[in-house]
């Protein structure tokens, strides 16, 4: 019997050892690829750019809402006071370094940079496509650094994937930063590898183009005050003949079916694909659309809108100054409440619109057809436009002030002509500032321009003092929520730069916080 | 005394060694016989010539033969029985009947892969026995640990029917998963929800590192061993019945209609005009009373058992039905469980056994802070009862609808009003626009039901080929079938609570688990030396397969063919509804381990134990190179009372032992899904894989984006907790007074930290990393007294108390703290885990009525730099006390538990909108005429800071009388007439009295994990009136 037991025992132990084989512990991961061997083919390389572009597309709301709120063009609205509390804090300059929008925007730009660095390090530029992927990644990386620089001043330069030991990066110096941007963009432009549109109406070039890179380089120069160099490179964009101002109705500029029109320099596409509705969540378009539940709207318009981002009267006044009360572009950019009523769009009886001074964004209105039903109102098919040719013309006009006034006049008037507004010669910086405010309202350029022009403190110092509410009878009343004027409004010397996120400064001992934060 | 004791120890060890080789040449006689107990032969009982290593062990039939010198004393002993000695002068055959050792100290205690005499334990193990589990209203066995064992904290994030509590053994030793490992009859599991507490024989909590180390990699948070019942004795049938009527316990006070109007007109958020237009000057709704009613729980347990030397059978069937306190049938839990435990001697050397639990459970629940229903994470029905204005009625008749509701009625395309089906509609506030409208709407807008069927079990074979050797092979398994079905219907309440279509979601999963373990125990008695060796292997696999889907309508698309519950299924979705599907893949997890343990004891006085376990994780958890973890442990005990020099003291000090242990455990519970790997994955947003369209022409195509999904960390390794424990056990006064205490120091190193944002410029999600250490230290005391007065009266008191100090001692060089993503809490060096991080409230400005905060940094404004420690959710002290008394057939039990030194951050107030508030925050508010107030003026600025300041932090200490039970057992003579063995009836008040200063619902139910101690509106504990019946025949 003992023998039998010994057999049983041995059997169990052998079986136990066999089952407990180490190999069973190696389990392959579904849906993933090996980092060391990926990015070898052209197609694989292109997925790197696609990833960066998708990352950037998802930053749409963060980029536009944050910058709009910081400008003097908009009020933070919503259902009532505190409904969009984070935006109110941006709008009224009561935010601090822990503000989540600031943090998200900051780290969002760095995530764009990270994915560019992945492509640059892992794609071997041995074919035409792979070379393009590397160069366009350098362009997007430079663009993100430029955005950071224009908002935060001296952000760290991150030009490779950081090891854990390298997370504590120091600020860049002005010299490092600008020379990095100039070099990267110049080399990418000169590489001959960047995509270009085949003709002015080419709608299929989805990659960042050579002209986009040149426009970014133009901004890099302009921000440094190198106007001549800026003028030169911006002239090249204009001279390429691949871009032109859209000549249809101005109010169609931001429409879904007008994406990739002849004046778009950098757009990331969304499509109306019933099978992929949920990838098109778009809180920017919902946020800037009217407060739909408090209004009776014509069925042309999407029924979900939060009214978080409403035009200030000062924007309307700027339009009036630029082109008169009956200006064509004004009528296609903004509507007054009486104009809305005339179009059949009213505030419901007894309701009021918080943070609304009696004006409604028309350029950014959301059409019903652009909010697919299956998206429950959250999806929007509109493609975010990150740069338009009109901006290039106005940048070029500004750069040419003191360089070539005739070109400055010409570019300025080109924009004015399309707006059906009067033209002039001898344009001044003030003309361009006014024009740019109107032409590009809500497109995320105003705040950085105000900082650069040095007019921010002047324009924004009272922001947050009185907040309007529009009643259904059309009356606007103002409420004072912030009572201590030392605690709201733009403060010169402090708000000229955004604060580095507290999350960064508390962990990164090498980074220096901006003054007064 | 100590030095002489050590001398003695040395002498003893030396003499023991010498004895092994000594020979005696006296006349030899043979003693043979049978050792039996009340049930039959006793196997493996030790038969030893006292003072020598000459001994043997009884065989399968209880027989033994031992040759000894004439006149020797032979001792017969085995685990759990009183030893007997006989003097042998001549050869003879005897039958020795061993009596069970009824002294508590001689209880056997289940340890990992074996059992030990309680007196031989060298680690810190607490037990909860069947009597603490019976006649309770607990439905989840882990609740039985509350207040009954020192060092175990039971926390609840929700007390809804079917909710399982969270157990913390000796503090918080990880910043991820801190749940202990449960081992049910050898089967490792994380979920014991399917075991009815009545089916449990005992629960052992392995608290110290050395005791738990045999479970190695998964034991870092302690181990709870659960032994289910085994059939004993003559056939017995038992039936238990319990009925509990549940009602709201502690109810917070919120503003009534007049207070509300005063407050918000004062704040300028509501105008009197608005009040006049929207209020009938009468309505004063108490939303808490609207939403809660009495709930009924009833349960039935029927069990059968019998057992003898050939085998045993325990079978039971249990039914539990709990309809919770929320009005209607939206919070229910129904569970049918069964248990079949059998053992059978197949051969003298072979025993077969199988323990199996069957479970069928289904339930519905309302949303609270502890649940997420159908991904509506912001929904919180409990919170809505505190925040809704009292000016709105819960229900309006169709002919008295206010204008806002009339408007909804006139626009059915918005989704429509919900109502009671009798022509009345649920009221909708004119003052508050929130995703949590009327709780009745929250209840009816959504329907969710979950069901699961589970077969759990362990089947084993025990071989005993030679004396002292036990070989076990056992297979444990868990087979589950679970499904969930949800629909949301069209309704309109306000802009934030509306839906004009139907959404459906459904999932089915069939996870399976098996665990195969083989281990060998060998015990050898050599004189007074007792040696034990155990070695074994364990291999386990979890397999998960699930499929889930969701469909949704949209604007202009109902989503289903007809707006009728009969059509709320995928099959009848509308053609244009959007569809999402998930799952459909096999996912595996596997683990492999080798382990071993050595025991040595001498004369029951000196006890030493050492163990080692090696664990390997699969590649979904850790990189191959870091796969293996090794977890050693040593422990020792000295039973001083067994020393000869203590003999004189035995009358008053029958037992005294000191013990010390050190051990390491691991944890990877926080990991899975290849999170250490920086492999390339496609772009995924919150909802779906996103791709980039390269054209919008008719033949557009997508490019998928591929990039590393995380930063990658190939250095990731096991989290290791290391624990030292010093303990003392004593019994005084003939065993009536028992006392034990422990001191422990538990340090968890290489904490696995996930979700850490070590940098905002790194640009990619950080992989989990080994970042930080955390230390828990504390004392634990357990004290018991039991006595009999006269013939009829007996009573007992058992109490326990534990202290805990928790401190984060280190965080990785890339980060100095970890911020919670879900609560205003932080994990930071030098502070307790997840302490409250906020502003220090310094008072109300007497001229403005605004709250003011301490300025802690250089910046003159109050900002993030001024946030600091404002409290912690971890108590300094927890404890429990149980009193029992019985007189003749009447018995009384009082059981209470409490905590001291913890804080609660009250997140019930909303800082925006015209939400109702706790009167605590409004009654003593600043007004121009009351400038010395303790609370800010209505509508003050900085209320957002106030909400995360020390002003919103409350003392969370409480004491709760969990049970006052009075029972009556019929006398034996009556029972005999009705042919019953036992019949007891009882009535009980459970969770009835709570002593606490916290103004919210229930200080016992707050957040857990990162929200530890943060009350954001959880389903509160009910107080229960209980009636029960226990009978056995």
Instruction: Tell me the residues of chain A between 143 and 172 that have a Cβ less than 8 Å away from chain B.
Output: 155-156, 158, 162, 164, 167-169
End-to-end Cα separation, chain B, in angstroms? 55
> Cα(B22)–Cα(B119) distance, rounded to whole angstroms?
30
pLDDT at B16: 42
Instruction: Render pLDDT for B607-644 as a digit per residue (tens, 0 to 9).
Output: 999 999 999 999 998 998 989 999 999 999 999 998 98
Question: Concatenated DSSP letters for A76-128?
Answer: E-SSSTTTTHHHHHHHTT---TT-HHHHHHHHHHHHHHHHHHHHHHH----SH
Report CB contact under 8 Å: B703, A31.
no
pLDDT at A12: 63
3-state secondary structure of A69: helix
Instruction: Tell me the residues of chain A between 451 and 490 that have a Cβ less than 8 Å away from chain B.
Output: 479, 481-483, 487
B431 touches A at CB < 8 Å = no
Average pLDDT, stretch B672-685? 85
DSSP single-letter state for residue A126: -
Q: Which residue has the higher pLDDT, B36 or A21?
A: B36
Q: Highest mean pLDDT range out of A420-434, B779-793, B845-859?
A: A420-434
Instruction: Render pLDDT for B191-206 as a digit per residue (tens, 0 to 9).
Output: 888 888 899 998 999 9
Structure tokens at A30: 């579904």
* Torsion A489-A495-A499-A502 (CA) sign: negative
Q: How are beta strands B114-117 and B108-111 bridged, if at all?
A: antiparallel
Instruction: Render pLDDT for B873-882 as a digit per residue (tens, 0 to 9).
Output: 999 999 999 9
Instruction: Tell me the residues of chain A between 294 and 353 that have a Cβ less than 8 Å away from chain B.
Output: 294, 303, 348, 350
DSSP single-letter state for residue B292: B
Chain A residues in contact with B704 (beta carbon < 8 A): 47, 50
Q: Which residue has the higher pLDDT, B44 or B979?
A: B979
pLDDT at B656: 93
Instruction: Tell me the residues of chain A between 488 and 507 that have a Cβ less than 8 Å away from chain B.
Output: 501-504, 506-507
Q: How are beta strands B903-906 and B868-871 bridged, if at all?
A: unpaired
Note whether B135 and B242 are within 8 A (CB).
yes
pLDDT at B814: 64
DSSP single-letter state for residue A486: G
Q: Has residue B804 got a pLDDT over 90?
A: yes
Instruction: Render pLDDT for B313-328 as a digit per residue (tens, 0 to 9).
Output: 999 999 999 999 999 9
Helix axes A128-152 and A42-57, enclosed angle (nearest 10): 20
> Cα(A388)–Cα(A197) distance, rounded to whole angstroms?
14
Average pLDDT, stretch A298-321? 94
Ramachandran bin of A75, using left for φ above 0, alpha for ψ from -120 to 50, beta for the remaining angles: beta
Average pLDDT, stretch A313-317? 97
B234 touches A at CB < 8 Å = no
Nearest to B176 by CA among B784, B962, B872, B818: B818
Instruction: Render pLDDT for B286-303 as a digit per residue (tens, 0 to 9).
Output: 999 999 999 999 999 999
Q: How are beta strands B46-49 and B55-57 bridged, if at all?
A: antiparallel
> Cα(A207)–Cα(A301) distance, rounded to whole angstroms?
31
Average pLDDT, stretch B939-954? 89
Tokens 């209105």 sit at which residue?
A: A365
> Cα(A88)–Cα(A77) distance, rounded to whole angstroms?
8
Nearest to A471 by CA among A288, A348, A374, A305: A348
Instruction: Render pLDDT for A152-188 as a digit per residue (tens, 0 to 9).
Output: 999 999 999 998 889 999 999 999 999 999 999 999 9
From residue B172, give the alpha-carbon distance in Å to each of B209, B804, B807, B907, B1014. Answer: 14, 10, 9, 22, 16
Structure tokens at B391: 């000016």
Instruction: Render pLDDT for A256-280 as a digit per residue (tens, 0 to 9).
Output: 999 999 999 999 999 988 778 888 8
At B182, the pLDDT band (50, 70, 90 cuts) reads very high
Average pLDDT, stretch A285-298? 92
> Cα(B1003)–Cα(B159) distance, rounded to whole angstroms?
12
SS3 sequence of B596-628: EEEEEEECCCEEEEEEEEEEEECCCCCCHHHCE
Structure tokens at B52: 């020598």
> Cα(B603)–Cα(B120) distance, rounded to whole angstroms?
11
Q: Which residues contact B653 (CB under 8 A, 6 or more apart)?
A: B641, B646, B730, B731, B732
Nearest to B48 by CA among B95, B85, B91: B85
**Secondary element (H or E) of residue A286:** helix A283-288
> Cα(B570)–Cα(B585) distance, rounded to whole angstroms?
21
pLDDT at B143: 84
From residue A302, give the alpha-carbon distance in Å to each of A306, A372, B935. Answer: 11, 9, 44
> Cα(B739)–Cα(B655) distance, rounded to whole angstroms?
10
> Cα(A400)–Cα(B607) distance, rounded to whole angstroms?
92
pLDDT at B104: 42
Average pLDDT, stretch B14-32? 57
Chain B residues in contact with A487 (beta carbon < 8 A): 861
Overall residue count recorded for chain B in this entry: 1033
Q: Has residue B565 got a pLDDT over 80?
A: yes
* Torsion B34-B38-B42-B46 (CA) sign: negative
Structure tokens at A41: 């083919």
At B103, the pLDDT band (50, 70, 90 cuts) reads very low
Number of C-beta neighbours around residue A314 at 10 A: 12
- Give the Cα-Cα-Cα angle B694, B696, B697 (nearest 5 degrees): 110
Q: Has residue B22 got a pLDDT over 60?
A: no
From start to end of B861-1013, where are the E strands? 868-871, 877-887, 890-900, 903-906, 953-955, 958-969, 982-996
Report CB contact under 8 Å: A479, B268.
yes
Report CB contact under 8 Å: A111, B679.
no
What's the gap in Å between the CA of B539 and the closest CA on chain A? 6
> Cα(A366)–Cα(A286) distance, rounded to whole angstroms?
8
The overall average pLDDT reported for chain B is: 87
Q: Choosing among A507, A514, A515, which should be mutated to test the B contact, i.e. which has the most B CBs within 10 A?
A: A507
Q: Has residue B9 got a pLDDT over 60?
A: no
Instruction: Render pLDDT for B503-513 as a digit per residue (tens, 0 to 9).
Output: 999 999 999 99
**Secondary element (H or E) of residue A178:** helix A174-190
Note whether B474 and B460 are within 8 A (CB).
yes
Q: Has residue B177 got a pLDDT over 50?
A: yes
Q: Which residues contact B339 (CB under 8 A, 6 or more apart)?
A: B195, B196, B199, B228, B229, B314, B315, B316, B355, B356, B357, B358
Average pLDDT, stretch B990-1006? 89
Report CB contact under 8 Å: B864, A97.
yes
> Scanning every residue of chain A, which has its alpha carbon at the shortest distance from the alpha carbon of B692?
A50
Instruction: Render pLDDT for B926-942 as a digit per residue (tens, 0 to 9).
Output: 999 999 999 999 988 88
Structure tokens at B885: 């008394």
> Cα(B642)–Cα(B75) distance, rounded to whole angstroms?
16
Instruction: Tell me the residues of chain A between 90 and 149 that have a Cβ less than 8 Å away from chain B.
Output: 96-98, 103, 106-107, 110-115, 117-118
Chain B residues in contact with A156 (beta carbon < 8 A): 761
Number of C-beta neighbours around residue A516 at 10 A: 14
Chain-centre distance of CA A476, in angstroms?
31
Q: Identify which of A1, A32, A274 has the shortest CB distance to residue B680.
A: A32
Average pLDDT, stretch A111-135? 97
**Secondary element (H or E) of residue B966:** strand B958-969
pLDDT at B14: 44
Structure tokens at B1023: 């107080």
Instruction: Tell me the residues of chain B between 799 and 838 that have a Cβ less than 8 Å away from chain A.
Output: 814-817, 819
Counting Cα atoms < 13 Å in the Cβ hemisphere of A399 gives 27
3-state secondary structure of A95: coil
């Amino acid at each position: 019997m003992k023998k039998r037991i010994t057999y049983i025992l041995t059997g169990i132990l052998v079986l136990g050892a066999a089952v407990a084989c180490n190999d069973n512990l190696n389990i392959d991961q579904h849906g993933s690829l090996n980092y060391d061997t990926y990015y070898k083919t052209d197609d694989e390389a292109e997925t790197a750019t696609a990833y960066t572009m998708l990352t950037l597309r998802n930053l749409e709301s963060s980029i536009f809402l944050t910058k709009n709120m910081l400008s003097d063009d908009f009020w933070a609205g919503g259902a009532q006071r505190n409904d969009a509390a984070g935006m109110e804090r941006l709008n009224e300059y009561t935010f601090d370094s822990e503000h989540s929008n600031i943090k998200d925007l900051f780290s969002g730009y760095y995530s764009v940079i990270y994915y560019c660095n992945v492509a640059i390090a892992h794609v071997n530029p041995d074919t035409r496509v792979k070379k393009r992927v590397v160069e366009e990644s350098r362009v997007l990386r430079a663009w993100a650094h430029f955005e950071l620089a224009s908002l935060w001043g001296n952000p760290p330069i991150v030009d490779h994937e950081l090891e854990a030991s390298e997370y504590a990066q120091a600020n860049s110096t002005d010299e490092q930063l600008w020379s990095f941007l100039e070099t990267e963009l110049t080399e990418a432009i000169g590489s001959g590898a960047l995509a270009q549109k085949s003709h002015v109406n080419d709608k299929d070039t989805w990659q960042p183009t050579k002209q986009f890179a040149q426009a970014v380089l133009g901004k890099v120069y302009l921000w440094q005050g190198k106007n001549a160099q800026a003028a030169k490179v911006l002239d090249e964009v204009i001279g390429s003949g691949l871009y032109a101002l859209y000549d249809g109705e101005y109010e169609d500029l931001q429409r879904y079916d007008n994406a990739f029109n002849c004046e778009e320099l950098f757009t990331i596409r969304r499509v109306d694909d019933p099978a992929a509705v949920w990838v098109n969540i778009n809180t920017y378009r919902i946020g800037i659309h009217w407060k739909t539940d408090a209004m009776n709207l014509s069925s042309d318009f999407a029924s979900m809108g939060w009214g978080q981002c409403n035009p200030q009267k000062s924007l309307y006044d700027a339009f009036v100054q630029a082109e008169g009360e009956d200006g064509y572009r004004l009528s296609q950019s903004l509507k007054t409440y009486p104009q809305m009523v005339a179009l059949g769009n009213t505030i419901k009886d007894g309701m009021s619109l918080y943070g609304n001074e009696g004006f409604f964004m028309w350029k950014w209105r959301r059409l019903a057809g652009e909010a697919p039903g299956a998206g429950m109102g959250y999806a929007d098919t509109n493609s975010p436009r990150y740069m338009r040719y009109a901006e290039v013309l106005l940048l070029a006009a500004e750069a040419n002030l003191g360089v070539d006034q005739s070109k400055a006049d010409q570019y300025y008037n080109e924009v004015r002509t399309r707006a059906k507004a009067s033209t002039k010669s001898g344009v001044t910086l003030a003309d361009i500032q006014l024009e740019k405010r109107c032409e590009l309202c809500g497109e995320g350029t105003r705040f950085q321009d105000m900082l650069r022009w040095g007019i921010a403190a002047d324009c924004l110092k009272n922001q947050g003092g009185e907040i309007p509410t529009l009643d259904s009878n059309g009356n606007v009343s103002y409420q004072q929520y912030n009572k201590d004027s030392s605690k709201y409004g733009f403060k010169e010397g402090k708000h000229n730069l955004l604060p580095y996120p507290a999350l960064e400064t508390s962990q990164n001992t090498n980074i220096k916080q901006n003054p007064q934060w | 005394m100590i030095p002489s004791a050590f001398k003695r120890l040395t002498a003893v060890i030396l003499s023991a060694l010498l004895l092994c080789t000594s020979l005696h040449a006296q006349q030899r006689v043979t003693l043979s016989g049978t050792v039996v107990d009340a049930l039959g032969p006793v196997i493996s009982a030790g038969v030893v010539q006292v003072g020598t290593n000459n001994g043997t062990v009884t065989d399968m039939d209880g027989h033994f033969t031992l040759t000894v010198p004439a006149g020797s004393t032979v001792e017969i002993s085995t685990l759990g029985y009183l030893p007997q000695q006989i003097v042998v002068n001549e050869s003879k055959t005897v039958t020795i009947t061993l009596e069970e050792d009824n002294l508590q100290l001689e209880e056997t205690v289940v340890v990992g892969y074996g059992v030990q005499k309680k007196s031989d334990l060298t680690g810190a193990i607490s037990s909860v026995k069947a009597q603490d589990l019976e006649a309770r209203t607990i439905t989840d066995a882990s609740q039985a640990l509350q207040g009954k064992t020192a060092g175990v904290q039971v926390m609840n994030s929700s007390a809804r029917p079917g909710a399982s509590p969270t157990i913390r053994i000796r503090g918080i030793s990880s910043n991820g998963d801190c749940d202990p490992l449960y081992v049910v009859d050898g089967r490792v599991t994380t979920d014991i929800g399917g075991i009815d507490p009545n089916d449990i024989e005992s629960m052992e909590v392995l608290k110290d590192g050395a005791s738990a180390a045999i479970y190695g990699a998964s034991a870092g948070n302690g181990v709870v061993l659960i032994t289910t019942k085994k059939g004993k004795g003559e056939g017995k049938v038992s039936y238990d019945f319990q009925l509990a009527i549940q009602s709201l316990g502690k109810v917070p006070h919120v503003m009534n209609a007049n207070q509300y109007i005063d407050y918000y007109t004062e704040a300028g958020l509501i105008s009197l005009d608005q009040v006049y237009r929207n209020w009938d000057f009468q309505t004063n709704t108490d939303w808490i009373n609207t939403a809660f009613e009495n709930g009924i729980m009833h349960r039935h347990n029927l069990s059968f058992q019998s057992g003898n030397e050939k085998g045993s059978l325990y079978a039971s069937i249990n039914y539990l039905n709990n309809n919770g306190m929320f009005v209607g049938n939206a919070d229910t839990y129904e569970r049918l469980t069964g248990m079949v435990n059998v053992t059978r001697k197949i051969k003298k050397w072979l025993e077969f056994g199988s323990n199996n639990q069957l479970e069928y459970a289904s339930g519905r629940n309302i949303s609270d802070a502890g649940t997420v229903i159908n991904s509506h994470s912001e929904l919180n029905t409990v919170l809505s009862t505190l925040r809704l204005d009292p000016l709105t009625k819960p229900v309006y008749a169709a002919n008295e609808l206010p204008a806002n509701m009339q408007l909804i009625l006139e626009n059915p395309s918005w989704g429509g009003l919900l109502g009671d089906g009798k022509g009345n509609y649920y009221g909708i506030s004119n003052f508050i626009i929130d995703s949590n409208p009327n709780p009745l709407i929250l209840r009816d807008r959504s329907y969710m039901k979950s069901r699961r069927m589970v077969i759990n079990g362990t089947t084993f074979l025990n071989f005993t080929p030679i004396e002292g050797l036990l070989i076990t092979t056992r297979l444990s398994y868990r087979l589950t079938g679970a499904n969930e079905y949800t629909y949301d219907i069209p309704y309109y309440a306000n802009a934030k609570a509306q839906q004009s279509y139907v959404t459906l979601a459904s999932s089915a999963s069939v996870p399976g688990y098996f665990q195969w373990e083989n281990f060998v125990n060998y015990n050898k008695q050599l004189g007074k030396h007792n040696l034990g060796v155990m070695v074994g292997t364990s291999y386990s696999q979890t397999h998960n397969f699930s499929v889930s889907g969701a469909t949704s309508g949209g604007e202009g698309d109902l989503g289903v063919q007809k707006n009728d519950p009969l059509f709320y299924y995928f099959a009848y979705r509308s053609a244009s509804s959007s569809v999402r599907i998930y799952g459909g893949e096999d996912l595996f997890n596997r683990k492999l381990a080798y382990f071993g343990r050595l025991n040595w004891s001498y004369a029951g006085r000196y006890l030493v134990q050492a163990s080692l376990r090696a664990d390997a994780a699969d590649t979904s958890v850790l990189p191959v190179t870091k796969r293996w973890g090794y977890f050693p442990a040593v422990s020792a005990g000295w039973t001083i009372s067994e020393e000869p020099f203590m003999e004189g003291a035995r009358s008053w000090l029958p037992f005294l032992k000191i013990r010390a242990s050190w051990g390491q455990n691991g944890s990877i519970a926080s990991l899975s899904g290849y999170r250490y790997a920086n492999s390339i994955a496609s772009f995924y947003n919150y909802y779906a894989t996103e791709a980039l369209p390269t054209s919008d022409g008719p033949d557009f195509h997508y490019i998928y984006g591929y990039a590393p999904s995380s930063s990658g960390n190939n250095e990731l390794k096991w989290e290791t907790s290391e624990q030292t424990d010093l303990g003392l056990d004593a019994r005084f006064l003939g065993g009536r007074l028992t006392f034990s205490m422990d001191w422990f120091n538990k340090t968890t190193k290489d904490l696995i930290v996930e979700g850490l944002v070590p940098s905002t410029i790194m640009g990619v999600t950080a992989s989990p990393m080994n970042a930080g250490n955390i230390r828990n230290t504390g004392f634990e005391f357990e004290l018991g007294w039991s006595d009999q007065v006269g013939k009829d009266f007996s009573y007992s008191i058992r109490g326990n108390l534990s202290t805990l100090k928790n401190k984060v001692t280190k965080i990785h060089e890339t980060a100095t703290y970890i911020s919670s993503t879900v609560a205003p809490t932080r994990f930071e060096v030098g502070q307790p885990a997840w302490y409250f991080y906020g502003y220090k409230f310094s008072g109300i400005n007497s001229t403005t009525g605004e709250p003011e905060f301490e300025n802690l940094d250089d910046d003159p404004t109050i900002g993030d730099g001024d946030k600091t420690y404002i409290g912690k959710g971890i108590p300094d002290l927890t404890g429990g006390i149980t009193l029992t008394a019985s007189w003749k057939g009447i018995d009384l039990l009082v059981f209470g538990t409490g905590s001291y030194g913890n804080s609660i951050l009250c997140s019930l107030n909303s800082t925006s909108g015209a939400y109702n508030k706790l009167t605590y925050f409004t009654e003593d508010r600043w007004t121009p005429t009351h400038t010395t107030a303790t609370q800010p003026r209505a509508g003050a600025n900085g209320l957002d800071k106030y909400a995360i300041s020390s002003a919103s932090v409350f003392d969370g200490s409480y004491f709760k009388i969990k049970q006052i039970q009075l029972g009556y057992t019929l006398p034996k003579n009556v029972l005999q007439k009705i042919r019953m063995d036992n019949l007891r009836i009882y009535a009980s008040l459970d969770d009835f009295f709570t002593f606490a200063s916290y103004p919210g619902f229930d200080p016992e139910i707050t957040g857990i994990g990162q929200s530890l101690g943060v009350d954001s509106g959880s389903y509160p504990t009910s107080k229960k009136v209980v009636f029960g019946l226990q009978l056995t025949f």
